[in-house]
Structure 1
Amino acid sequence: MIGVPLSQRFPGRKLSVFRLTVVVVVAALLAGGAYIGWGRYNDARAASAKPAIFAGYVDVTATPSYTFEEPVNDAAKSVVLSFIVAGKDKPCEPSWGNFYSLDQAGQDLDVDRRIARLTQLGGSVSVSFGGQANAELATTCTDAHQLKDAYASVVERYNLSTIDLDLEGAGLSDTAALARRAQAVAALQADRLAANKPLSVWLTLPVAPTGLTAEGTAAVTAMLDAKVDLAGVNVMTMDFGGSKPAGTTMLAASTAAAEATHGQLATIYKADGQDLGSDSLWRKIGLTPMIGQNDIVGEIFTLQDADGLRDFAVAKGVGRVSMWSLNRDATCGPNYPDLTRVSDSCSGVEQKDRLFSATLGEGLKSPLAETTASASAQAAIKETLPADDPATSPYPIWSSLAVYVEGDRVVWHGNVYAGKWWTQDEVPDNPVAKDGLTAWKLIGPVLPGDKPAPVVTVPDGTYPSWTGTTTYLQGDRVMFDGRILEAKWWTRDESPLAALQGAPSSPWKLFTNAQVQELLAPKDKN
């Protein structure tokens, strides 16, 4: 039949121009529909290959300290520790909140040890650079190579696979910093990939119900221009202010912001030569509300809003949901009467028995599923911990003879513990005692490379030197071997040496490093 005209194949039938046109159009529509369907299938498949995650922010330097190493639920096992910023008078040196260098945070806040503890429990940690206060590193460190080294020092110290760049204020408006940051992060990402340690990078930006600001879209463009492989753009659905129309709920404003951002990212990625499908774009969007009372009076993100935002995120396939912050995930106590004033440690709304972290994290995966070590791996980790050796342990080895008070730290069986109250002869790793009954709080493991904390000494003459011929009364202070000691009761001819060795029966109380540092700190004359 090949080569036979249609009129001869079907005698008595004529194929008009109109009918032929219809056939061609239908065929084209079928082919186009198949193509579109195949494209949507591939888009959905590519998006589903990347997990939708929940990870709450933790303000590391806020007081009281939030114990992220003791997660209250599975959702809280994934944390974004905040914020790394430029050090005071050290433009290229990372610090925690401009308060602690990385080493100081390891010593004073036990950040490294607490991260190790959370990891032991199957948790995961990422770190956020920037934030609203202080200076993001790229705004002060003007050398891209030094900037890259600064970012890398944090990534390597905490063995990170994900970082978050929270750009606000000058960190967002400084166009030179945008270019430097993008160049440094691209170079770091390339180095990590070459070492088979890929680094995911999230860009966290302010947003309005109408979408990203012009500065926000410029920040995304700068990253793509520098060939940074962005895991996604996390929008802060909070503090909308005048951009939120009167009468609009926080949930409605948040979902509108997400929809608008989705459209903006489609345009930005297309301009970069990446024609991503709708599902893939949703996977590149993160949503971060400020739970409870926002900084703007009258803006309150409720638990009902959290229910709605979670349902929206799951339905759309949003790549990440976070919250500011895990520190605040609690009802304020009765001694905090002005709930319109934002607290670092409570939400400002009545939560009863519910948590925002559990609500927002429901239905989302946690990065811990990708990083949880097996039982054998956990055993291997424990086997590599240093033995309880005074020469290498960061704190004294626990002794049943010594007296300990609140805050005292000891090492026992490869872990560091902190005293919760006065105690003697209570073994730190008592397997029977409940948390409310044990005198010790587990901080985390002794880490490879740990060594005794350096002793803080004071200049001669700060207090009189101890002599065996002087009578001392309770509260009298003396110097002995460069250390400060205080008499616990009347004493004469009893050397402070025993107190230096930790003897509880000594009439002398040894000042801790922290007490000495506080004593020597310059007093604010104002």
Structure 2
Amino acid sequence: MGRFDGRRLSVPRLAILVAIVGGLTFAGTSSWRHVQDAQAAGSHGAAWYAGYVDATVTPLYEFEQPASKAARDIVLSFVVADPDSACSPTWGGAYSLDAASDDIDLDRRIARLRQAGGSVVVSFGGAANSELSTACTDPSQLVDAYTSVVDRYDVRTIDLDIEGPALADAAATQRRAAAIKALQVARAKAGKNLRVWLTLPVSPQGLSTEGRQVVAAMLEQKVELSGVNVMTMDYGGSRAKDQTMLDASTSALTATHRQLGQVYARAGQDVGSATLWRRMGATPMIGQNDVPGEIFSTAAAKGLSAFAAEKGLGRMSMWSLNRDRTCGANYPDVTVVSNSCSGVDQGAESFAALLRGTMTGSPDSTEVTPVVGGRAGGRDSADNPVADDPATSPYPIWSADETYVEGTRVVWHRNAYVAKWWTLGDTPDDPVVDESASPWRLIGPVLPGEKPVQVPTLPSGTYPAWDQGAAYRKGERVMLRGTAFVAKWYSTGVSPDARATQNEPSPWRQLTDAEIRQAAAAASADTD
């Protein structure tokens, strides 16, 4: 006999049963998908915040001394092609990798930040100059160029900021994707991972066609793409007149989320919604944007941070830490973008802290560079200072009997310091002296394998000898006992090497190594 012998299942009952079974099936599938989303999102680690730092703009931003946890992790910008050598990486077209180490102590400052627990992401590209893949057309040399940067700074996360003409360069898009894939494979063979983020311009309607193609190229090359960071800034005509900067930004992120779902699906990677949010980031331009009338306020920063927390955004950045402060009263027109201030009244707030919000992760999940000498601070112990060796120190060893003027660099206990003003007999690492009162600023540790820096010199007579009876205006240069100085303001009768203090600073500044090299090159050209 049949199981339902003596009973008939009516058509209405059958419909109800089918609906119940179907609902249970959908609910089970949906719940499982949510579990998969959560597991995948969690596998990418905690969401992280890191502000961009323009490495070459003056005045230099001292990222190696983070003032807060929000300033501890940075995206160092920008590595671009050398204008005179397409396959040679430079910082901003101004410094080769070696010159950046010699002239602005970049390697040492990175090491110092890592001692303080920070992480460094290196960003390639940007709005100005040429991203490496657009200028360097030789595939193997392009791989070598990217590799030289990643290896030199031992970075575990890179950022590819593709905008402007580079965005529409289809050939460069393919070269870049192939080179990054080769780089990831090589790093993996060496037992080192490499996280790759794309940073792309966006409108409130989402990514452009070219932007989506840049993402698709990476996925086609099987690059392990950590995520896509969109520049929620400079909307121009794409933003409606009644649309706030916050609304434009959340609209841009929502539209990009939908678009990326389609791009990943076409690449055979049908990821869930939560995973996709985790693979996205946002980077607003704080305060006054490049587009007149576009102002990203501290209130907008709070709103964007709340949106990121709600959606589970994987990354937050900003342009830039250099600008995260209220402009001073001597900056007359805040509607003109400054490299050193935001253009809005921030009060006691920092955009970095507001945008970081509840994000507690780091761009790198593992230690990047071990502390030099085994301990932070450059000592084996308080009673056993590390010995300084002139043969392996980039700068002269500090001496209590030597006079040092502003800008002089020395080594003491395997750390490099720069003089903030005239000093004699002040120990660079005196633990009882308040940092603001010390004439020395810690740059960072002496790095393994370093040799003495060849300090450039100028021929005698390059500039007039300093004359006690002469009056000097700002910008004038003189020489004293073979050292070149430049006047910071009008002075007369004050020797460039005369004693100066924090309260009574010297009107003279010693020329930097970069300035000396430029002067020497100009002098050489004049004699040819």
TM-score bracket for this pair, using the shorter chain length: 0.7 to 0.9
Counterpart check, 1:357 vs 2:379: no
Report the equivalent of 1:38: 32
Distance 2:290 2:463 in 1: 48
Distance 2:379 2:442 in 1: 18
Q: 1:478 to 1:238 in 2, by over 3 A?
A: closer
> Does the 8 Å contact 1:201/1:229 carry over to 2?
yes
Counterpart check, 1:299 vs 2:307: no
In the TM superposition, what whole-angstrom CA distance separates every residue of 1:171-215 from its partner, at most 9, and x where no partner exists? 111100000000000110111112221101000000000000111
Counterpart check, 1:29 vs 2:23: yes
Give the secondary-structure state (helix, strand or coil) at the position aligned to 1:247.
Answer: coil
> Does the 8 Å contact 2:133/2:142 carry over to 1?
yes
Report the equivalent of 1:416: 416
Q: 1:262 to 1:34 in 2, by over 3 A?
A: same
Distance 1:452 1:442 in 2: 18
Counterpart check, 1:175 vs 2:170: yes
In the TM superposition, what whole-angstrom CA distance separates every residue of 1:352-379 from its partner, at most 9, and x where no partner exists? 1110000100100231783469999983
Q: 1:74 to 1:518 in 2, by over 3 A?
A: same
2:233 to 224, 238, 248: 238
Distance 2:484 2:9 in 1: 109
Counterpart check, 1:398 vs 2:401: no
Report the equivalent of 1:126: 121
Give the secondary-structure state (helix, strand or coil) at the position aligned to 2:290.
Answer: coil
Distance 1:304 1:485 in 2: 49
Distance 1:376 1:85 in 2: 29
Report the equivalent of 1:136: 131
Equivalent position amino acid for 1:183 in 2: A
Give the secondary-structure state (helix, strand or coil) at the position aligned to 2:130.
Answer: coil
Distance 1:40 1:145 in 2: 43
Q: Percent identity?
A: 53
> Does the 8 Å contact 1:386/1:446 carry over to 2?
no
> Does the 8 Å contact 2:48/2:363 carry over to 1?
no
> Does the 8 Å contact 1:266/1:275 carry over to 2?
yes
1:151 to 146, 150, 158: 146
Distance 2:159 2:441 in 1: 30
Distance 1:373 1:152 in 2: 16
Shift of 1:44: 1.5
Equivalent position amino acid for 2:157 in 1: T
> Does the 8 Å contact 1:122/1:368 carry over to 2?
no
Distance 2:119 2:112 in 1: 10
> Does the 8 Å contact 1:58/1:325 carry over to 2?
yes
> Does the 8 Å contact 1:57/1:322 carry over to 2?
yes
> Does the 8 Å contact 1:290/1:325 carry over to 2?
yes
Report the equivalent of 1:100: 95
Report the equivalent of 1:498: none
2:47 to 31, 35, 52: 52
Distance 2:396 2:251 in 1: 56
Distance 1:175 1:436 in 2: 51
Equivalent position amino acid for 1:207 in 2: V
Distance 1:374 1:126 in 2: 13
Report the equivalent of 1:517: 517
Distance 2:118 2:151 in 1: 18
Q: Which moved more, 1:289-298 or 1:374-383?
A: 374-383
> Does the 8 Å contact 2:103/2:512 carry over to 1?
no
2:156 to 151, 161, 173: 161
Distance 2:258 2:404 in 1: 60
Q: 1:310 to 1:460 in 2, by over 3 A?
A: closer
Q: 1:422 to 1:45 in 2, by over 3 A?
A: same
Shift of 1:134: 0.2
Q: Where do residues 107-506 of structure 1 align in structure 2 (5 Å cutoff)? A: 107-367=102-362, 370-371=365-366, 379=374, 382=378, 387-458=387-458
In the TM superposition, what whole-angstrom CA distance separates every residue of 1:254-277 from its partner, at most 9, and x where no partner exists? 000000000000000001111110
> Does the 8 Å contact 2:206/2:256 carry over to 1?
yes
Give the secondary-structure state (helix, strand or coil) at the position aligned to 1:205.
Answer: strand
Equivalent position amino acid for 1:355 in 2: S
In the TM superposition, what whole-angstrom CA distance separates every residue of 1:449-483 from its partner, at most 9, and x where no partner exists? 1111113245688699x9xxxxx988999999xx6
Give TM-score scaled by structure 1 length: 0.87
Give the secondary-structure state (helix, strand or coil) at the position aligned to 1:94.
Answer: strand
Distance 2:451 2:369 in 1: 29
Distance 2:15 2:187 in 1: 57
Equivalent position amino acid for 1:416 in 2: A
Report the equivalent of 1:489: none
Name structure 1 gaps, 5 residues minimum.
467-471, 487-508
Q: Which moved more, 1:516-525 or 1:25-34?
A: 516-525
Distance 1:376 1:443 in 2: 14
Distance 2:223 2:364 in 1: 26
Distance 1:253 1:132 in 2: 21
Shift of 1:386: 7.4
Q: 1:389 to 1:42 in 2, by over 3 A?
A: same
Give the secondary-structure state (helix, strand or coil) at the position aligned to 1:391.
Answer: helix
Give the secondary-structure state (helix, strand or coil) at the position aligned to 2:31.
Answer: helix
Give the secondary-structure state (helix, strand or coil) at the position aligned to 2:354.
Answer: helix
Q: Which moved more, 1:312-321 or 1:360-369?
A: 360-369
Q: 1:485 to 1:111 in 2, by over 3 A?
A: closer
In the TM superposition, what whole-angstrom CA distance separates every residue of 1:479-510 from its partner, at most 9, and x where no partner exists? 99xx6689xxxxxxxxxxxxxxxxxxxxxx99
Shift of 1:48: 2.2
The number of residue pairs the alignment matches comes to 489
Give the secondary-structure state (helix, strand or coil) at the position aligned to 1:308.
Answer: helix
Distance 2:149 2:364 in 1: 23
Distance 1:437 1:457 in 2: 31
